[in-house]
Chain A
């Protein structure tokens, strides 16, 4: 197959970034937006074409696997003979899947932003950053080695920082962007250490066992170190994917424009951690199954914690943010509960393995895919709503279904999907995750079912407070409240598109494309799990309906009054920010930073000040020698040469 065109997928957004970044201010808003969108449209088409070629035209090789194709891979830095750093483009089932996810959501966000960012100052800058982000995210998923992944990993971090801080005159936005950047950088430090350990001992940055046949032997030599290296890499992923306790940046990141939240902080960047674990999956399963389970425990706790917090938030974007954290928890749980084959102790090349112990891998990837669609759509809906009522707070909403029918329907579809209702996509992916969890341990399965039930509850709470309940507009009409209105077509089109994707993509036979060992298998619905979880979800929806559908919400208010401390704690996100604040300010700053600052100010600066001072003094004291009298210079010159001559004469 000829994949020589794929370099365009990376090059076009990069060029668009350069063009818009350098010349954007000279362009009109319309032109800049058109350039960005057309480029992304091209990338969108190319990605779909690539996926079509890869999955359907080319098909599986003789061994029953989709081949791992490295379309190009050139040396960028050569450290030693063994350790070279390449930049390349690799097609594997999951990277092609990610191409689809990223280009779809990014393209939709580009279209949507036309309406949402209409007339904003810095419109061209916004599109430039979107292009940068898309380029880096695409580069991340097609990485041929872990160092390239790290490079683009940092680039997505930067573009996320730039976009969160897009409204930079706002202090909260600046603080949020810094917080996001610092927290993820802190996690990335561990990622880098992990990479260094890995590459130092294995002698390569390559991680793909399929692409490098000799890699397995090299890794086997340093098996005792692999758990450490892999877990450190996971910490980097946990930072990007907002796992507890590094999740604190994601809710604040909602300060950025809403389409950005949809693209970066719901659909693509935050799942980079999941993608990382999935990429390293064979290594994890073989060398660090224990650590893989730790990931599952951390992710399960995060999912629970975020779901609990999401139940009590009043800012609709925050609810969605916590929901995202919770759903990423689901994906990582799915990966984490995968187990090595009982006999081989690694990924077995059998269909039974793919459907059994390795089911979590496929489930996690599937959920990543479906989640990107419906969570992207939910955020875009939230954007329409915020645009219409001019606030993030649920108090300003209510009964919007009358005014915004399209948004309402899309939101409802996506809520049903995320709650896991048949036949929407969320049902299928969540069902696979739960099956994988029950395979791992019944307790894990039950916990995850419970969290899925909470998901349904908080999503429908959100749905009801936005679209039902008491209308702020109607009650405040005399005080000059603006009438909410439906968003323009360029904003509703992405909603409709993504809703349709949400409805349809559950029916994709995902097991045929992505699985733990690459073999094709039929996914089948495990009806006992499916029915249980559907019933639980329906109960949760019913409860949410009972509590929140009316104009007044007596039950919810009463519960909040009855357990004020619990409600307050959940509203304040269980004081995690305060804990971090205490940790950084009281411990790190006081015990580490202050002494270092003192040392810097007094010892380091003192040394250099002394050097400067002594140079100054020396210069001042010999300044009179430069008298300006040429004859004096001549005499000194002669004295010097005579002295030199005499010295040479005596010595030789």
Chain B
């Protein structure tokens, strides 16, 4: 059987790759894709915790399932916002919406 630490290291790696992408990319859609990576790493963790540490129960399983639903919703709204930003500012770079500050 695969040791549980393997999964955790995998998900941690995935998480920080996503984080790295989020920090370095300047394109809004690319940032969103990075967020998907981060969410997936969390989902893996839930499933693994459930399966390997608490077999017989289903909390982590359903949490992953609902998390998928939420991320689908999130993506839809985020893309709607990005399209709107793009339409108004004619740019999809993060810097162009920096006037959201203060």
Contact = CB atoms under 8 A, between A and B. Distances in A.
Contacts of B31: 630-631
A626 to B, nearest CB: 5
B97 A628 contact: yes
A631 B23 contact: yes
B90 interface: no
Nearest to A637: B19
A634 B101 contact: no
Most buried by B among A623, A634, A635: A634
In order of increasing CB-CB distance, the 5 nearest A-B pairs are A628-B101, A628-B98, A628-B100, A631-B23, A626-B101
A630 to B, nearest CB: 7
A628 B23 contact: no
A628 B100 CA distance: 6
The majority secondary structure among interface residues of chain B is: helix
Nearest to B25: A631
The majority secondary structure among interface residues of chain A is: helix
Contact of A626 (B19, B95, B97, B102): B102
A582 to B, nearest CB: 58
18 contacts: A623-B102, A626-B102, A627-B101, A628-B100, A628-B101, A629-B94, A629-B98, A629-B101, A630-B94, A631-B22, A631-B23, A631-B24, A631-B31, A631-B94, A634-B22, A634-B23, A635-B23, A638-B19
Interface in A607-649: 623, 626-631, 634-635, 638
Contacts of B94: 629-631
Contacts of A631: 22-24, 31, 94
A638 B22 CA distance: 12
Given A631-B22, A631-B24, A635-B23, 20 more contacts: A623-B102, A626-B101, A626-B102, A627-B98, A627-B101, A628-B97, A628-B98, A628-B99, A628-B100, A628-B101, A628-B102, A629-B94, A629-B95, A629-B98, A630-B94, A631-B23, A631-B94, A634-B19, A634-B22, A638-B19
Contacts of B97: 628
Interface of B: 19, 22-24, 31, 94-95, 97-102
A623 B100 CA distance: 13
Interface string A331-368: 00000000000000000000000000000000000000
Interface residues of A, number: 10
B32 to A, nearest CB: 11
Contacts, number: 27
A386 to B, nearest CB: 67
Contacts of B102: 623, 626, 628
Nearest to A627: B101
A638 B23 CA distance: 11
Contacts of B100: 628
A623 B102 CA distance: 7
A626 B99 CA distance: 11
B83 to A, nearest CB: 18
Most buried by A among B31, B94, B101: B101
A631 B19 CA distance: 9
A627 B94 CA distance: 12
Nearest to B95: A629
B102 to A, nearest CB: 6
A531 B95 CA distance: 107
A492 B31 CA distance: 91
A491 B22 CA distance: 89
Contacts of B22: 631, 634
Contacts of B19: 634, 638
A634 B18 CA distance: 12
Contacts of A630: 31, 94
A628 B98 CA distance: 5
B89 to A, nearest CB: 14
A623 B101 CA distance: 10
A628 B101 CA distance: 4
A631 B98 CA distance: 11
Nearest to B26: A631
Contacts of A626: 101-102
Nearest to B99: A628
A634 B35 CA distance: 11
B33 to A, nearest CB: 14
A184 to B, nearest CB: 55
Contacts of B99: 628
Nearest to B16: A638
A248 to B, nearest CB: 59
B100 to A, nearest CB: 5
Contacts of A638: 19
Nearest to A630: B94
B21 to A, nearest CB: 10
A635 B101 CA distance: 17
B50 to A, nearest CB: 23
A142 B22 CA distance: 78
A638 B20 CA distance: 11
A630 B24 CA distance: 11
Nearest to A628: B101
A271 B99 CA distance: 72
Nearest to B23: A631
A627 B101 CA distance: 6
A401 to B, nearest CB: 83
Interface in A120-139: none
B60 to A, nearest CB: 22
A380 B99 CA distance: 75
B25 to A, nearest CB: 8
A634 B19 CA distance: 8
A367 B90 CA distance: 93
Nearest to A626: B101
A628 B97 CA distance: 8
B53 to A, nearest CB: 21
Nearest to B19: A638
B99 to A, nearest CB: 7
A418 B98 CA distance: 88
